[in-house]
Amino acid sequence: MIIFVSGKAVQSGFASPWRLVVGFGVVSLAADMAYEGARSVYGPLLGSLGASALVVGLVTGAGEAAALLLRLVSGPLADRTRRYWRLTFLGYALTAVCVPLLAVTPALGGAGLAVAAVLILSERLGKAVRSPAKSALLADAASRVGLGRGMGVHKALDQVGAFAGPLLVAAVVAAAAGRLWPGLAVLAVPGAASVLILALLRSRARRTVATSAPVSTSDGQEAAAPLPAAFMRFAVASALCTAGLVTFGMIGYHLVEADVVSTAGVPLLYAAAMAAAAVAALATGAAYDRLGPRMLAVLPVMVAIVPALAFGTGLGLAAGGVLLWGAAVGVQDSTVKAFVADLVPRPRRATAYGIFAAVQGGGALAGGVAVGALYQQSRTALLLVVAATQLVALLMLLGLARNTSA
């Protein structure tokens, strides 16, 4: 298997592509313990620092937008420089630093909200820096075992950390009598572990065959070709899904403000959502390898149902909405990426992932602001707007599936 190390094409020293897939999965497991643990309490944290529903929606939506839009820069940079590993390291390190620093924001008085917003955006910047480069490395390995299966297994491992992190935060917050800062401070441990494990993974990628050129002649020709029109249509359809999928920051804010659950209970529900994401990633990944892109039509249906359940006032319906939200996230972060890799040439995957994420980021920002505003004005209008956007996304995805399968 060919991977890129220090800017050169090399033969991987791993015994099988599965080892690289699983290795990145373990790195993501540790990183997700850190940033998903923090993300599970972004809503209550910002609320405790004085944020309104609109501010929570703006900060969390802008955070998701930053994590997506800035890949428009980092993706082409990775393909142009071939510094896949270096960019991956930088992104994970930034996240590992910013997450535990959120623990100091409650002690900063009036400046706490502004500092928390900056740290949340910076943590998402780390995601933007590393994701295209890591996804390109991962897709190269996963393509040899089945893109759907490979991406699904990686996402499932990723979600183990996303499940464990919120549980850790919930336990620490409960032990600290509802104070959030100890739960955020403890996340320094998995954050540091993610960087150390990545260093070990990189050291195992031995150079057994190296070439002086970063890409072959055929790769260079593919790298100069424009991205397929079907890829851009898929990016727009996915952006509509992202716009409609309300952030967990808004869900967590609602759950606490409506007295559906206590502050300590929010990360528990988030952990359950991450478990649902793992199951959905494995199931839809395997289905994608058998059925192709038409199975992605389930995504807008799931997204449309989420707010009707999650913004309810009963625990049962809200919990169902949270689980469905997690399942939709699992599909977005695994099977959607598999289809992107199938649509574009290999030498342009990091660029494609960057552009794809940037289009999604526009949807995330628009959706975050719109949901925050509509939440305060009319829940019925919120449900209708989300349903309308998902209907358009569904029609686009069905058309793409028909055209690409022909």
C-alpha span between 150 and 142 (Å, rounded)? 4
Lowest mean pLDDT among 231-235, 297-301, 342-346: 342-346
Spatial separation of the C-alpha atoms in residues 356 and 238, rounded to whole Å = 9
Query: Is 189 strand, coil or helix?
Result: helix
Q: Say whether pLDDT at 188 is over 90.
A: yes
Domains of the chain from N-terminus onward: 2-405 (1.20.1250.20)
Q: Count CB-CB contacts under 10 A for residue 280.
A: 29
From the number of C-beta atoms within 10 Å of its C-beta (0-12, 13-18, 19+), residue 127 rates as buried
> What confidence tier does 3 reach under pLDDT thresholds 50, 70, 90?
very low
Place 116 in a pLDDT band, splitting at 50, 70 and 90: very high
CA dist 249 and 347 (Å) reads 36
pLDDT number for residue 126: 92
Q: Is the pLDDT of residue 257 over 60?
A: yes
pLDDT for 14 beyond 60: no
For residues 369 and 397, the model is more confident at 397
Cα-flanking dihedrals φ and ψ of residue 2, to 5°? -90, 130
The pLDDT, as a whole number, for residue 7 is 43
CB atoms within 10 A of CB 401: 19
- 401 alpha carbon, distance to own chain's centre: 23
- Count of Cβ atoms closer than 10 Å to residue 128 Cβ: 25
Q: What is the pLDDT of residue 22?
A: 86
Beta strands of 281-382 (E only): which ranges? Answer: none
Both ends of the chain: CA-CA distance in Å? 30
What is the pLDDT at residue 387? 94
Tell me what pLDDT residue 405 has: 61
Which of these, 306, 368, 360, 361, lies nearest to 57 by C-alpha position?
368
User: What's the mean pLDDT in 276-282?
Assistant: 88
Q: What is the DSSP string of 260-276?
A: SS-GGGHHHHHHHHHHH
User: What's the pLDDT at 222?
Assistant: 54
Residue 41, SS3? Answer: coil
Q: Per-residue pLDDT averaged across 279-296, rounded?
A: 86
By three-state DSSP, how is residue 237 classified?
A: helix
pLDDT at 202: 82
pLDDT at 406: 52
Of the pLDDT bands very low, low, confident and very high (cuts 50, 70, 90), residue 11 is very low
SS3 (DSSP) at 126:
helix
Is 38 a residue whose pLDDT tops 50? yes
C-alpha span between 343 and 155 (Å, rounded): 20
pLDDT at 111 over 50: yes
Evaluate if residue 15 carries a pLDDT over 80. no
pLDDT greater at residue 114 or residue 19: 114
pLDDT, position 207 = 40
Dist. CA 280–CA 327, nearest whole Å: 5
Residue 214: other Cβ atoms inside 10 A: 17
Task: Write down the pLDDT at residue 9.
Answer: 43
- What does pLDDT average to over the chain? 83
Residue 382 has pLDDT above 70, yes or no: yes
DSSP H or E segment with residue 351: helix 349-377
Which of 12-26, 30-44, 248-262, 362-376 shows the lowest per-residue confidence on average (mean pLDDT)?
Answer: 12-26
The two structure tokens encoding residue 333:
């972060």
CA distance 101 to 118: 11
User: Does 141 score more than 80 pLDDT?
Assistant: no
What is the mean pLDDT of the segment spanning 148-163?
84
- Output 291 or 231, whichever has higher pLDDT: 231
| Mean pLDDT (whole number) for 340-365 | 85
Q: How many helices (H) and strands (E) does the chain have?
A: 18, 2
Residue labelled with tokens 């780390």: 126
Amino acid identity, residue 172?
V
To the nearest whole percent, how much of the chain has pLDDT over 90?
28
**Which tokens is 261 given?**
């659950």
Check pLDDT > 90 for residue 300: yes
What confidence score (pLDDT) does residue 384 get? 93
CB 345 within 8 A of CB 222: yes
Q: Which two tokens stand for residue 181?
A: 């800062």
Mean pLDDT, rounded, for 344-366: 85
